[in-house]
Structures are given as structure tokens and as C-alpha cells.
């Protein structure tokens, strides 16, 4: 089974996770830029974070046979810091131009403030300029209203259905999202957001078109193998192998493929390889 996890924050995960993901069939991932669990205080912290998503993390994944891509954006939560917002937005185009960036994201709403509106709109325009799809985060609080407001903003900007995914859907938002023409992402967590069995019921009810299933694993309680668990639950529920492949591989490839920047050949792990001279080996220098 080949698996593409379209939303996972690998910077927060261990090499054990990479090994387990490869063993479970994960061959490609997208790591969206998001916040770090606590606020950053300067634009330089964003620059270094973006550089690590494009550099070290991509290299680290390749050492485990996994193709790593990322999305770049100012997240909605930190868009509420007025000084940061201006500075981070001004450097984003430099990063959106880089190889390995397959969408603008995570954009969207956290508390649905006017500052978040402004950052969201500006980044939607950047996506159009760089011909990149948009990865739209939806809020934990007042999710249904935030989802509808995101859809309205995307429509007003003229973003076509195939160029945005609304993420973190649940039973109460899935119809609005699919009816809008945009793609629907589902973050399957051990105990919140969406679980494996509910995910399968949604697939049974709404079909497999325009649906992305992700683990959204990060620094919180989460599970980098959730996409594989959904695939197994789909099989147990009677979906055939082609349905499973469509949900866990072909759909994300189709969506993020619109960036023109996906690389899906399997990287050959090379124990002697280094990124900027630093290897993932510990206790033995690279190449010795």
C-alpha cells in the first residue's frame, strides 16, 4: 500500500516515527507551516522555520525513503500580531518561489479577527500569483461559521474549486465544504477532531471524490500512522483497493500536483549523505 499523508508536522516527530511510517507504506508527505505551540517574537524565527522545512526536514525524510514537501504561510493565530504580520508577509514571496513548496498554507481563521481577514486575503492573492493551491485551516472554536467564512472569502477572490482544500472538517462542516466545490481535508486524531470509524462513515456517505485524509501529527497527542489506520478501516468496511488508493494516494497527488512541484520518485536513503554537512547519524561521522 502506498500512502501520501497530506498534512503532518514532521519537525516535531522522531526518527522512530519516520521508520514506522515507511513500514506502514508512507512514501510522500506534505508538512504545512504552522505555529510552534508558542508565539514567535520576530520575523527571523519564521525565516529559520521556513528554511528548516525546506532544508533539514526534507533531507531527514529522504533518509527514510519518504518524499517531503511543505506549504508556506503566516498561520492565522500569529496573524494577530500586527508587527509580525507585515514583516512575515513581506518575505513570504521569496519562499513561495522555492522548490518543494506545494501550497500556500496553513492560512484561514483562528479567532476570525479583522487581522486574520487581512492576512488570509493577502495570502490568497499570493497563491494566485505563484499558481499554488491553498491549504485552509479551520478553527477549533465556532468551526462551522469559520468554515463558511473561509469559503466565502475564497469565492470572493475567485479561487477555483480545485485550488483550495478546507482542512479539519467534521460531520457538521463536510456538506458546506463539498457543496462549495473546494476539497475537504480530514485530520484523524487519536481522540479529537475526527476518529477512524467516523472517517469511514463519512467516506461511505459522501464518497471518495475531493477528500484528503491526514494525520495532522505534530507536537501534541497525535499518531503519524492514522492514515494507514483509516486505509485499513476502509478495507474492513468493504471499500476495495482502488478506493483506498484513491483516498490515501491519488487524491493528494492530484491536489498538490497542481503546484507542478511534487517529486514522487522514491529517494534512496544513503547513510553517508549529509544535509549542509550534517548527517542524521549519531556517534559515527558521516562517510566513515
Partner 1 sequence: MTGDELRQLLDRELEPAGRAWLAGAEAAVRKDPRVVQTAFPAAGRSVGRRLLAGDPPTGWTADDAARALLLITLGDAAGEQVPDLFGYGDADEQRAVVRSLHLLPPVPGAAELVAAASRSNDRRLVAASLGPWALAHLDDEAVAQSVLKCVFQEVPLTGLPGLAERATPRLSRMLAELAHERIAAGRPVPEDVWPLIERFPPEDTLARIEAEQEHPVPERRAAARAALASRRGQET
- ∠243-28-219 over CA atoms, to 5°? 105
Select 44 or 207, whichever has its Cβ closest to partner 1: 44
Query: Strand, helix or coil at 284?
Result: coil
Backbone angles phi, psi at 215, to 5 degrees: -90, -25
- Give the span between the Cα atoms of 10 and 30, in whole angstroms: 9
Report in angstroms how near the CB of residue 98 gets to partner 1 at its nearest: 5
Scanning residues 14 to 53, which ones bind partner 1 (CB under 8 A)? 47, 51
Q: Does the protein bind partner 1 through residue 93 (CB under 8 A)?
A: yes
Q: Does the protein bind partner 1 through residue 125 (CB under 8 A)?
A: no
Alpha carbon distances (Å) from 12 to 57, 130, 183, 216: 10, 28, 26, 11
End-to-end C-alpha distance for the chain, whole angstroms: 35
Which among 80-88, 90-98, 109-117, 172-180 is the span making contact with partner 1, rule CB under 8 A? 90-98
Select 91 or 253, whichever has its Cβ closest to partner 1: 91
Which among 88-96, 215-223, 227-235, 240-248 is the span making contact with partner 1, rule CB under 8 A? 88-96
Q: Does the protein bind partner 1 through residue 276 (CB under 8 A)?
A: yes
- Give the span between the Cα atoms of 252 and 6, in whole angstroms: 6
Measured N-to-C along each axis, helices 82-96 and 114-130 cross at an angle, to the nearest 10 degrees, of 10
Report in angstroms how near the CB of residue 47 gets to partner 1 at its nearest: 7
Select 58 or 85, whichever has its Cβ closest to partner 1: 58
Q: Are 83 and 241 in contact (CB under 8 A)?
A: no
Report in angstroms how near the CB of residue 94 gets to partner 1 at its nearest: 5
Scanning residues 177 to 196, which ones bind partner 1 (CB under 8 A)? none
Q: Does the protein bind partner 1 through residue 94 (CB under 8 A)?
A: yes
Ordered DSSP codes for 236-260: HTT--HHHHHIIIIIHHHHHHGGGS
Q: Does the protein bind partner 1 through residue 98 (CB under 8 A)?
A: yes
The one among 55, 181, 190, 269 contacting partner 1 by CB under 8 A: 55
Which among 32-40, 177-185, 265-273, 275-283 is the span making contact with partner 1, rule CB under 8 A? 275-283
Q: Does the protein bind partner 1 through residue 118 (CB under 8 A)?
A: no
Size of the site for partner 1 (CB under 8 A): 20
Q: Does the protein bind partner 1 through residue 285 (CB under 8 A)?
A: no
Q: Does the protein bind partner 1 through residue 270 (CB under 8 A)?
A: no
Q: Which residues face 166 on adjacent strands?
A: 136, 184
Q: Does the protein bind partner 1 through residue 281 (CB under 8 A)?
A: no
Q: Are 188 and 195 in contact (CB under 8 A)?
A: yes
Report the phi/psi class of residue 142: left, alpha or beta, with left for phi > 0 and alpha for psi in -120 to 50.
left
Contact positions toward partner 1, by CB under 8 A?
A: 47, 51, 54-55, 91, 93-99, 130, 260-261, 274, 276-278, 287
Amino acid at each position: 500500500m502506498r500512502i501520501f499523508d497530506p498534512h503532518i508536522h514532521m519537525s516535531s516527530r522522531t526518527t522512530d516515527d519516520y521508520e514506522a511510517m515507511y513500514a506502514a507504506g508512507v512514501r510522500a508527505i506534505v508538512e504545512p507551516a504552522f505555529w510552534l505551540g508558542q508565539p514567535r517574537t520576530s520575523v527571523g524565527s519564521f525565516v529559520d522555520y521556513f528554511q528548516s522545512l525546506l532544508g533539514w526536514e526534507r533531507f531527514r525524510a529522504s533518509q527514510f525513503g519518504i518524499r517531503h514537501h511543505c506549504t508556506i504561510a503566516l498561520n492565522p493565530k500569529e496573524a494577530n500580531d500586527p508587527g509580525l504580520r507585515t514583516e512575515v508577509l513581506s518575505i513570504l514571496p521569496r519562499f513561495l518561489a522555492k522548490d518543494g513548496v506545494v501550497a500556500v498554507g496553513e492560512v484561514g481563521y483562528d479567532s476570525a479577527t479583522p487581522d486574520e481577514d487581512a492576512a488570509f486575503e493577502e495570502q490568497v492573492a499570493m497563491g494566485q500569483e505563484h499558481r499554488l493551491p491553498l491549504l485552509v485551516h479551520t478553527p477549533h472554536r465556532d468551526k462551522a461559521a469559520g468554515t463558511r467564512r473561509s469559503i466565502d472569502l475564497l469565492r470572493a477572490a475567485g479561487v477555483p474549486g480545485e485550488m483550495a482544500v478546507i482542512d479539519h472538517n467534521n460531520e457538521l462542516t463536510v456538506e458546506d465544504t463539498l457543496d462549495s466545490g473546494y476539497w475537504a481535508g480530514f485530520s484523524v486524531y487519536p481522540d479529537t477532531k475526527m476518529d477512524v470509524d467516523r472517517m469511514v462513515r463519512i467516506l461511505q456517505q459522501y464518497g471518495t471524490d475531493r477528500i484528503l485524509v491526514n494525520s495532522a501529527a505534530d507536537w501534541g497527542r497525535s499518531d503519524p500512522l492514522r492514515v494507514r489506520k483509516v486505509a485499513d478501516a476502509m478495507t474492513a468496511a468493504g471499500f476495495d483497493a482502488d478506493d483506498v488508493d484513491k483516498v490515501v494516494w491519488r487524491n493528494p497527488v492530484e491536489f498538490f500536483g497542481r503546484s507542478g512541484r511534487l517529486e514522487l520518485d522514491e529517494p534512496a536513503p544513503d547513510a553517508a549523505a549529509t544535509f549542509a554537512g550534517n548527517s542524521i547519524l549519531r556517534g559515527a561521522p558521516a562517510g566513515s
